[in-house]
Amino acid sequence: MTKPDPSVIVTKSLAAEVEHIRQPGYPVHAHFVNRWSSRSFASRPVEEEVLFTVLEAARWAPSSGNGQPWRFVVARTQAERERFQTFILPGNRGWSDHAPALILLISYNLNAKGEPSGSHAFDAGTAWGTIAAQAALLGLNTRALGGFDREAARQALGIPVEYDLHAVIALGYRGDPSSLPDSLRERDIPTGRLPLNELVHNGVFGAQE
């Protein structure tokens, strides 16, 4: 096996806040481990240039047949964010109300023949991963939320049935965790991951060693 290039092994630059819980088993770029989804957002607005840089990264994500089924409904003004708040479930409002930008990620659910697409949701997930990565590279925080009323969102935003609604992505600069309600502050910590040997199946499903 080719040994990883030592110049790109930067796991030693793990952020102090993650290193006790997020120790990679292999020497991945620290970026992947340092990114985590805080619930704490500063009131500082996301500059238009920064927001569009994040969305531009998603534009370059790979997709099946280069179909690019993802679409982004962005809420930045007070009125736009209040409209989003009508369909975000109460359990997510305590933190997401403070995010300066909310992005609803949707995808076109038909293929070129007008039949149900088998890949649009996978492609939309790739777009989300790219958004999260680009935002982290720019020093911003993201947290996706699936806890919203999809039918209410469809009505409120006028989204046709040919689009599936996946997640609202809260985007902004990290805030002071002390501004979070106690119950959320205690949970607002980086999480660990399953070990790779529980995820990898060698050759056939179920063969892990």
| Interaction of residue 99 with ligand FMN, rule CB under 6 A | no
The least distance separating ligand FMN from the CB of residue 27, rounded to whole angstroms, comes to 19
Rounded Cα distance, 41 and 173, in Å: 6
User: 81, 98, 143, 154: which one contacts ligand FMN (CB under 6 A)?
Assistant: 143
Toward ligand FMN, which CB reaches closer, 48 or 193? Answer: 193
Rounded Cα distance, 130 and 25, in Å: 23
125 alpha-carbon distance from chain centroid: 8
User: 34, 40, 92, 130: which one contacts ligand FMN (CB under 6 A)?
Assistant: 92
Rounded Cα distance, 123 and 51, in Å: 20
Select from 3-11, 139-147, 153-161, 194-202 the region that touches ligand FMN (CB under 6 A).
139-147
Rounded Cα distance, 131 and 123, in Å: 13
Residues listed for the chain = 209
What is the identity of the amino acid at 99?
A
The least distance separating ligand FMN from the CB of residue 37, rounded to whole angstroms, comes to 3
Applying CB under 6 A, the residues found at the interface with ligand FMN are 36-37, 92, 143-147, 167, 190-191
